[in-house]
């Protein structure tokens, strides 16, 4: 079964991961800009990182017949540093025109500081100015609900921002409803420690339905799984869910959201039409 992993930090993975993902049916990954596992000392480091996202990783993915797309941002874990954030934000526009860039992300909150909120707000405004999609990181563990609520409060201050152009990631059972009720897309993150298991993610789909929900592995330099989405598919099949429902969550939904960017080239699935429907 083909799928799209909309959140995978491939700069931290080996080529073996690209091969395994391709063999398991992954046709495209999108990679949000994020923390490197340590705080960078200058904006120059982000220049190199953005070139890696927009040049090197698409080439690595192409060797395994996978498409690689990226997002650009000052990530939430370093966004508290306002001086550095302002310098990084000055450098993002020159990369927005790259053919594999889908939008601004992952932006959002980590410790929910005033500085993080200010940096988040500036990047929302940048996305509006350049007509870009937005991918949002929400805090983990006990601060998730508060952080999600604050992100939504900031977003709603911009009436010109279309909710369907925003995906709020790392959603869980206690935040999904507020995301969906305001018209945003929700990302379920399959991660072995601080996020969702495949079992919990399938539970969520069963309770809330598949509308405006995507799943991703968010594999990175920490304990994580590049095959998290296939494991979600396996759990869906174990529960005897229809192929059509599974394909909607892991392929059709990402295509619908990401396809709002003119740079995203994965075509929707061709649907069979019965004579009665023709």
Range scoring the smallest mean pLDDT among 195-199, 211-215, 263-267, 269-273: 269-273
Asked whether 18 and 60 are in contact (CB, 8 A), the reply is: yes
Mean pLDDT of the chain: 95
Q: What percent of the chain has pLDDT over 90?
A: 91
**Residues recorded for the chain:** 278
Asked whether 61 and 92 are in contact (CB, 8 A), the reply is: no
Range 18-23 average pLDDT: 98
- Confidence band for 141, pLDDT divided at 50, 70 and 90: confident
pLDDT of residue 193: 77
Residue 276 pLDDT > 70, yes or no? no
Q: Based on the structure, what is the number of domains in the chain?
A: 1
* Token pair in block for residue 185: 């897309």
Asked whether 37 and 60 are in contact (CB, 8 A), the reply is: no
Q: What percent of the chain has pLDDT over 70?
A: 97
Tens-digit pLDDT profile for residues 1-17 = 999 999 999 999 999 99
- Confidence band for 194, pLDDT divided at 50, 70 and 90: confident
pLDDT of residue 197: 96
- Report yes or no on 263 lying in a domain: no
Range 30-51 average pLDDT: 95
Cα(54)–Cα(60) distance, integer angstroms: 11
Helical (H) or strand (E) element with 29: strand 26-31
Asked whether 230 and 25 are in contact (CB, 8 A), the reply is: yes
- Report yes or no on 38 lying in a domain: yes
Residue 274 CB partners (closer than 8 Å, separation 6+): none
pLDDT of residue 275: 38
* Token pair in block for residue 25: 């049916």
Range 58-73 average pLDDT: 98
- Report yes or no on 278 lying in a domain: no
Asked whether 181 and 221 are in contact (CB, 8 A), the reply is: no
The answer to whether the Cα torsion of 111, 147, 69, 203 is positive or negative is positive
* Token pair in block for residue 241: 């869910």
- Report yes or no on 252 lying in a domain: yes
Which residues span the domain enclosing 52?
Answer: 3-258
Range 183-191 average pLDDT: 97
- Report yes or no on 244 lying in a domain: yes
- Report yes or no on 211 lying in a domain: yes
User: Smallest Cα–Cα separation from 147: which of 123, 125, 174?
Assistant: 174
Name the E strands within 147-264. Answer: 166-168, 185-189, 213-216
Range scoring the smallest mean pLDDT among 22-36, 101-115, 138-152, 248-262: 138-152
Query: In Å, what is the CA distance from 38 to each residue of 5, 28, 45, 195?
Result: 24, 27, 12, 21
- Report yes or no on 45 lying in a domain: yes
Helical (H) or strand (E) element with 248: none
Does the predicted TM-score (pTM) go above 0.85?
yes
Residue 274 pLDDT > 80, yes or no? no
- Look up the CATH number of the domain holding residue 57: 3.20.20.140
- Report yes or no on 276 lying in a domain: no
Cα(176)–Cα(171) distance, integer angstroms: 6
DSSP secondary-structure letter at 163?
G
Range scoring the smallest mean pLDDT among 107-111, 117-121, 141-145, 228-232: 141-145
pLDDT of residue 270: 61
Tens-digit pLDDT profile for residues 223-242 = 999 999 999 999 999 999 99
**Relative orientation angle of helices 82-91 and 43-51, to the nearest 10 degrees:** 40
Would you call 67 helix, strand, or coil by DSSP?
strand
User: Smallest Cα–Cα separation from 219: which of 231, 210, 208?
Assistant: 231
């Amino acid at each position: 079964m083909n799928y799209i992993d909309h959140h995978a930090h491939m700069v931290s993975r080996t080529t073996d991961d690209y091969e395994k993902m391709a063999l398991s049916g992954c046709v495209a990954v999108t990679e949000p800009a994020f923390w490197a596992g340590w705080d960078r000392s200058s904006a120059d480091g982000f220049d190199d990182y953005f070139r890696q996202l927009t040049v090197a990783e698409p080439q690595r993915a192409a060797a395994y017949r996978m498409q690689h797309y990226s997002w650009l941002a000052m990530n939430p874990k370093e966004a508290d540093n306002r001086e550095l954030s302002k310098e990084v934000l000055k450098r993002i526009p020159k990369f927005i025109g790259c053919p594999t860039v889908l939008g601004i992300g992952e932006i959002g909150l980590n410790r929910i500081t005033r500085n993080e909120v200010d940096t988040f707000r500036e990047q929302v405004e940048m996305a509006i100015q350049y007509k870009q999609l937005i991918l949002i990181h929400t805090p983990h563990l006990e601060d998730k609900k508060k952080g999600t609520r604050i992100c939504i409060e900031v977003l709603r201050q911009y009436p010109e921002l279309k909710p369907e152009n925003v995906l709020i990631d790392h959603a869980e059972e206690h935040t999904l409803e507020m995301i969906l009720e305001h018209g945003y897309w929700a990302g379920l993150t399959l991660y072995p420690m601080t996020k969702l298991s495949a079992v919990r993610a399938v539970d969520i789909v069963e309770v809330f339905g598949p509308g405006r929900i995507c799943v991703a592995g968010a594999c990175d330099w920490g304990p994580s799984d590049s095959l998290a989405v296939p494991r979600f598919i396996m759990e869906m099949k174990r529960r005897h869910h229809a192929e059509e429902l599974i394909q909607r969550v892991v392929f059709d939904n990402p295509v619908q959201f990401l396809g709002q960017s003119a740079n995203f080239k994965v075509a929707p699935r061709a649907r069979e039409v019965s004579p009665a429907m023709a």
